[in-house]
Each structure stands twice: as C-alpha cells, then as structure tokens.
Structure 1
C-alpha cells in the first residue's frame, strides 16, 4: 500500500476532519442548539468510522463498484472523484473490524445516520423531536468503542475538558448496565434454586444433550456461529451466537491438497439459556454477566478452489 494515499480516504485525514466536526458539535451544544449538535455529531461519527476502516486499509472505505476509486485506494491517484461507501456499509463493516461494535451499536449508528439524511434531504425535522437523553449516551458509547480500537480516546478526540462529561456519562451507564444485568442473573438463579433438587438435576442432564447446531430456533437473527457456555444463573449448558471477525490457517493442506486447519474468532452478540430462560443481548451485557464474548475455535475444512475462468 502506498504511503501517499489520496487525502479523501487517508485515515489520519479522516480522523482529523472528524475531530473538527466534533468540535463544531460541542460548540453548538454549548450554545444550546441541540438540533445542530446532533447533526455535526452524526457527521463526526461517520468520519470517525471511516478513519477506523481506512486505518486497516483504504480499500475498505471506497465503493468497490467504482474502479477508479479502487485504484486510488491502492495508491494510484488516477482521479480526485473518489466514491466512498454508504453509512449502511460502513457500520456493517465496523462490526467485523471492531470487536465491541456489535449489532446494537450498529443499529444505533444507522438510526442517527438516517435522521441525518432526513434532516439534510427532506423537509422533516428529525433532530427537533429527539431528546438529548434518548441518544447521547449511546452516541458516546459508539464513539468510545471506535476510538479505543484505533488506540486513542475521547480526551484526544474532543479535548480533555469537553470529554469529562461524556466520560462520566459512560461510567454511569456502565454501572447501571452492570447492576441491571447482575439483578437479572440473580433473579433467574433464585427461580432455578427454588426447584426441587431432583428437578434441577434432571434439567442439567437434559441441557447437556443440547447441541449448538440444533439451537437455531433460539436466535431469530442469522449469525455465523453458535457455541456453548455455562449459564451464569443456573450453570446449565447455554448458548451464545455471534459474528466471525477473523480466521488464520494454522495448518496448510494435507498431502492430497484437500483439507486445511483454520483458527476462527467470533464476537458474541446474544446469549440464551433454554433451561432458565435467561437472555442477554450485546457484548456489554455478556461482559457484565461474566460471559467471555470473544470465542475461538479450530475447524478442519475442505479447501475451496477458484473456478476456471474458461478462457484457457
């Protein structure tokens, strides 16, 4: 990858511009203009997300259907008309790059982007109807998630003084989430313990017979993998589902060139226990319940080969 990648998709330039927009957002908040505060904040979030993708590689932020932009991403500046991905694609890609950028965060980011589009491209006034407490806490959580991934902080992004309030808001939200999850787990644990010992033992035995590949009905959304964990409430076999975020070939193809061994990594999105009905959503809730939301496994699979082009 060339070092002189075009400024439009340069990670540092995108990050710097997001800081400028965040500064404008904070100025509008200080002036009491909460509509424009949310507008600039939404723009800053999208630029920050693109900076994170471009930091991995500039090709992740250009439109794959626009060949000149792909050349620019490779370091060949053949055009200044660079086409970048939509907000929908941006936030979808971040779920694969940033471990804690889960589907809950993705959904919120899309909501604020859609309100931004409605504000700019229609007669609607979506920001006018949004109360500050309805979005700000989740906004700072999304930003903090991305900033941590690119090894910086809210303090660097918006200035130490201005970051004090968001940091306090995040700390209070984290405490509230942890308390709520612990109470939820405790209530399910208490209900399970009220059962007779023989019934609890029978439920444990039945839970051990459940296999991950038979649990798709538990999760309405489609995910890449389902794996087993111990339920923090009843200690029975329970299940987590999530998206694959990476893989490495740890053993090359065998002597016949058919099988290879792959280490895979997933980020948990949902937890469900069929025994006590405990359900958790998002990596933050899983973490608060003491469930490791990062899952790794090893898979032996048949190698896939590209089809012939048919022009030989």
Structure 2
C-alpha cells in the first residue's frame, strides 16, 4: 500500500470527515431537525464505508475505469481530480469486507443513499416522509458493522453521543432475537404436534432433497446453496449465500492442469421445505443458532494468461 496517499482517498481522512458529518447529524437531531439529521447521517455513512475500503487499499474507492485515479491510488499523484466509486459500487464492495453486511443491510444503505440523492438533486422531500423509527435502528446497526470491520466502534466514532445509538442497536437486536426465537419455537411445536408416522415421512422426504433442487425457492440467485439442519423441525433444510473468498489449498507443480481451491461463502437466506421456516440475514441466522459461514473444496482446471504475441 502506498505510504503517501492523496487525501481524497485516504482512509484516515475519510474516517475523520465521516466523524465530522455524523457530529453534524447528531446536532441536527438534538435540534429536532429530523430531515437534516437523516441527510447528514446518510453522508456520514457513505464516507465511513469508503474509509473502510480505503483502509484495506485506496484502489478500492477509486473509479476503476479512470486510469489517473488508479495511479493516484498507487501513490503516483498524476491528478488532483480523483474519481471515486458510486454508492452502489461502494455497498456492493462492503459485502466482501464487512462480515455482517448482508443483503438486508445492503438494501437499507442503498435506500438511504437514494433518498439522499433525491433530497439533493430534485424537488422531492423524501426524508420528511421517513419516520425516525423506520430507519434509525437499521442505520446505527449498519454503522456499527462497518466500524467493527475496521476495529473501531460507535464510541470511538461518536464520542459522548454514542450511548443513545448503542442502546437503539441493542434494543433492536433484542427485539429481532426474540422474534426469531419465537418463530423457531413455533416450528418446533408444529412438527412435534404431528403424528409420529407423519414426522418420519416428512423427514424422509426432506433427506431426499438436494441443493440443486432448491434454486427456485430462494428470492435471488445466490452463488451457492448448501445443506443445514432446521433448528425448528430438525429436518434437512437449505442455506444460500454468496462467495466471499477463496484460497489455493494444494500447490501444484508447473505441469499440473488442476488445482484444489477452498472457497468461503456467507449465508444470507435460510429455508426449510418441511416446516417453512425462513431466516434472512446474519442476525436472524445467529439468533437461530445457525453458523452462516460455509466452506467447501473444489477441483478446477487451472487458467493461464494468454500470450501477448510478442515472443
């Protein structure tokens, strides 16, 4: 990583600016100006997300189609007009950096960013239509997840103002946890209430189901679907998620044509075909006691870069 990073894409500078903006947001909340509270909060969230990417490497926050910006990210300051990524790209990239940045959190961040754009670039007033309870808890939850990924915290980011957001996050988490546990217990009670023969038949049918057969059951197309045990009925169920990383597990000699790759996936959506239990996002999976990190090994043909034709 370059030692002297241009300030526009410096992780430290982006983090510091996000702290200024969240300070302005808290001041507007104290003044009961909830429109500006959400506006400054949305700006602070985007800066915090970019800081998280820039801490990993500045190239993650610059527009990859702009060669001058890529040079700056590499420490070669050929321009001061650095082009950075859009909010859409930012939140897509955070999903590969922040473990808890699941599709639900991604959608929330995109929604608040789109409301921000409408507020700034049109005559619309989208923030005024949003009740505080409809967005605030999810906002602090997203910020907390990003801050944890860069080994920081709400307390570090907000200072003396952190107590109330931390309490909001805790209360929202407790409510979600209780709701998930109730759904699991309801599924258990339903299955236990069946006759023994019915339970055995359903369990046998579930054992015959395979991940490939479940693709249409999930809301979106995920990278992988794998088998899990349902915390409700105890039958075979399925968890789907996207790939977040991979490593070459087996080194091959120069003549090898195949390699062993260990892949990592983060689960986002759980579905049980038997009791119909559905769990969405890492928080609900945690509450149900399901490990949403999945790894597997695959053997694949090695790929080589084509010759440049100058031999």
- Contact kept? 1:96, 1:243, Cα under 8 Å: no
d(CA) in 2 for partners of 1:124, 1:42? 16
- Give the alignment's TM-score, normalised by structure 1: 0.97
Matches for 1:1-312 after TM superposition, within 5 Å: 1-159=1-159, 161-253=160-252, 256-310=255-309, 312=311
Q: Determine the C-alpha separation between the residues in 1 that align with 2:296 and 2:221.
A: 19
Q: Separation in 2 of the partners of 1:148 and 1:20?
A: 19
Q: C-alpha displacement at 1:52, in angstroms?
A: 0.5
Residues 253 and 303 of structure 1 are in contact (CA less than 8 Å); yes or no, is this contact kept in structure 2?
no
- The Cα offsets for residues 285-305 of structure 1, whole Å up to 9 and x where unpaired, read as 011000011111122211122
Q: What is the number of equivalent residue pairs in this alignment?
A: 311
Instruction: State the distance in 1 between where 2:271 and 2:308 align.
Output: 45
**What is the SS of the residue equivalent to 1:128?**
helix
Aligned residues of 1:264 and 1:298 also touching (Cα < 8 A): yes
Question: In 1, Cα distance between the equivalents of 2:79 and 2:255?
Answer: 46
Secondary structure at the aligned position of 1:97 is classed as coil
Q: Could you tell me which runs of 5 or more consecutive residues in structure 1 were left unpaired when the two chains were aligned.
A: none
Q: Deviations along 1:2-36, whole A, 9 cap, x unmatched?
A: 11011111111100100000001111111111111
Offset, 1:220:
2.6
Q: Distance in 1 between matches of 2:270 and 2:255?
A: 40
CA contact (8 A) 1:181 1:288 kept: yes
Q: Give the deviation of 1:311 after TM superposition.
A: 5.4
Query: Structure 1: how far apart are the matches of 2:300 and 2:87?
Result: 34
Q: Following the alignment from structure 1 to structure 2, what is the Cα–Cα distance between the partners of residues 254 and 178?
A: 50
Superposed CA offset, 1:161-205 (max 9, x none): 311111111111111111100100111111111111112112112
- Unpaired runs of 5+ in structure 2? none
Q: How far has the Cα of 1:214 moved from its partner?
A: 2.2
Partner Cα separation in structure 1 for residue 163 and residue 30 of structure 2: 14
For residues 47-79 of structure 1, the C-alpha deviation after alignment (integer angstroms, 9 at most, x for no partner) is 000000111111110000100000011111111
For 1:235 and 1:132, the matched residues in 2 are separated by 39
Q: Following the alignment from structure 2 to structure 1, what is the Cα–Cα distance between the partners of residues 172 and 195?
A: 37
Give 3-state SS (helix, strand or coil) of 1:113's partner.
helix
Instruction: Deviation per CA, 1:60-107: give whole Å up to 9, x if none.
Output: 100001000000111111110000000000001111111100000000
Structure 1 Cα separation of the partners of residues 251 and 200 of structure 2: 44
